[in-house]
Structure 1
């Protein structure tokens, strides 16, 4: 499990680099265009800048997302380093500032794929892009009252995953493994993130059918391996042998949990989420009971593809049905019984995707409660 320690060290370096980074506000031509073309009169561009805005690349999930973006760029006959990277290191403020700076630099001739880091940050990002005449496709995080069709063509699409049910499935696998009795803890993502909220709710849904299992504690670990390691260590100090299972909101949290358990000589069943290559290997070994694959390579590539093809005028988002503008991505449950087969099909040989098949693997329109 040396890769877990290496992963934690990489995250420490990322934080140090964030402290050295500077943020830039909107200026110049982009500011002048804030009250420019209306969404229904959106201009198109022959060769827009293509950018991906994301947390960081040390996280295996985000590395796969961006690898998908690079694969799409290469499908256009461009070198993969022509993709512009906006790395926010988990800061919504930096995310927005970087987008505004790039809008100014490109004069709005931009096709942007972005996870805005948290749901409230999505609106100012979208408004900045639409006001500057750029095209944006978002992933994972937005508020329920924000919709692409309210911005004509410029807000191209939003993709998320229906996490509550898969997270409930992993929870049931965990609760069965502990015999339906005992105490579990949950380590979540950033508290305001949609997937973090849904994955915790999935656990709570499952617990309704297991009255003899107590949810001892649930804390946000911010999708962070090191923070998860620290929280799990504190859980062990506080609850000790009362902990009979651990429900993790993603794989990278799981790595920190495993390291904390190992340090105390404990072996406790855990489940995770995302289907990263390292996690799949741990599932195959039985160190993790289950994880959920969300096909980040396809998600990263198609999100960039949607923004780009809308920006070039290849299709008009406003002419598409709502289910093509807000939709769920695919999920696959991975257990020890099928981990090796899954790894061979999806990880050892990454499938070749048709980046103009925007909605092929998707799971239908997003539903709101």
Structure 2
């Protein structure tokens, strides 16, 4: 981490002194400029805090938001001091809610956000910059959108290198299938980066297994109900040709299991998933799932908001950081039956304590574009 703490304290002391002098001179009530014109005194004031995400019904997003809340509590605030902007899977609502939050707080905001789909990231970060707020994003953005091109207000973007872990789960699945048969893939929202990468991981593994056929790959939009309906249609269409199922996330796997159960097929077809949710880890321990992949959403949720907050108050200047601190991968851990019990004890039965000032400690290097 760069040595900016000492510089920040010195800047803060000077800024507060200048602000007090300005107030004494009758200038304290002047309107403060927005965007890049915001001065250090304004940046040092408490920014309004928010997390913009899909929904909290999902164990994954609940973990993300819980991490954000833990960071907020580390500041001596309460969970209620962080606003949840729930977009319900709508990119339009995501953008509208963020704009409303910015307007309500005159741009003095620190926001963490999953933009819901990749194209929505640009209008979101441009709205934040125009208002003078600060934002860190996760998962979804287009490859041509970079924080350093937008400026300090777009603090950082974190994603996970899903292609390799998804390939590893596919290889585990193929081994369980005996190296032959038919596999179906149930994916996420097609415009989501993780959905694309997880399907690519499956396709990469298939290159080494000529006797395994990809029967079908369709989006289930990360949704359990849609996954159950899609899997039921796959069973109708392909029947006993299906000898393995590759799921883009745990919620999808739950739907697949329900569909198999309805047909009396539960436990007869190996399944792999992604996210490392508590229910999925238990299913790995029970043998219902072969594997899942943990992306530490709790840490991701906390550190994304921490980065936006510290940039907003002036603890560090994002443009002075290397590119790998502006765009970086989060950690991934594959969970199999061999290590599921130890994993559960460490990450589920108890929550590791994180230093929210260690911005990049558990990260996995800068994002690489193909």
TM-score, scaled relative to structure 2? 0.89
Structure 1 residues 288-309: Cα deviation after superposition (integer angstroms, max 9, x where no partner): 0000000000000000000001
Aligned residues: 337
Whole-angstrom distance in 2 between the partners of 1:114 and 1:39: 24
Secondary structure, aligned partner of 2:63: helix
Whole-angstrom distance in 2 between the partners of 1:363 and 1:100: 32
Structure 1 residues 75-113: Cα deviation after superposition (integer angstroms, max 9, x where no partner): 001111111000001000000000011111010010000
Is 2:311 the partner of 1:313?
Answer: no
Is the Cα contact below 8 Å between 1:49 and 1:111 reproduced in 2?
A: yes
Note the residue ranges of structure 2 that are not aligned, 5 or more in a row. Answer: 1-30
Number of the residue aligned with 2:358 = 357
Whole-angstrom distance in 1 between the partners of 2:193 and 2:319: 25
Whole-angstrom distance in 2 between the partners of 1:236 and 1:74: 48
Whole-angstrom distance in 2 between the partners of 1:125 and 1:39: 20
Is 2:218 the partner of 1:219?
Answer: yes
Query: How far apart are residue 36 of structure 1 and its match?
Result: 4.9
TM-score, scaled relative to structure 1? 0.89
Number of the residue aligned with 2:21 = none
Is the Cα contact below 8 Å between 1:137 and 1:157 reproduced in 2?
A: yes
Whole-angstrom distance in 2 between the partners of 1:62 and 1:178: 32
What are the equivalent positions in structure 2 for 1:157-306 lying under 5 Å apart? 157-266=156-265, 267-306=268-307
What value does the CA root-mean-square deviation take over the aligned residues? Answer: 1.5
Structure whose alpha-carbon radius of gyration is higher: 2
Structure 1 residues 314-349: Cα deviation after superposition (integer angstroms, max 9, x where no partner): 111111110000000000010011101100011111
Structure 1 pair 140/39, CA: closer, same or farther in 2 (3 Å)? farther
Number of the residue aligned with 2:36 = 38
Whole-angstrom distance in 2 between the partners of 1:41 and 1:271: 51
Is the Cα contact below 8 Å between 1:135 and 1:155 reproduced in 2?
A: yes
Stretches (4+) displaced over 2 A: 35-43
Is the Cα contact below 8 Å between 1:39 and 1:154 reproduced in 2?
A: no
Number of the residue aligned with 2:154 = 155
Is the Cα contact below 8 Å between 1:61 and 1:296 reproduced in 2?
A: yes
Query: How far apart are residue 151 of structure 1 and its match?
Result: 2.0
Is the Cα contact below 8 Å between 1:334 and 1:342 reproduced in 2?
A: yes
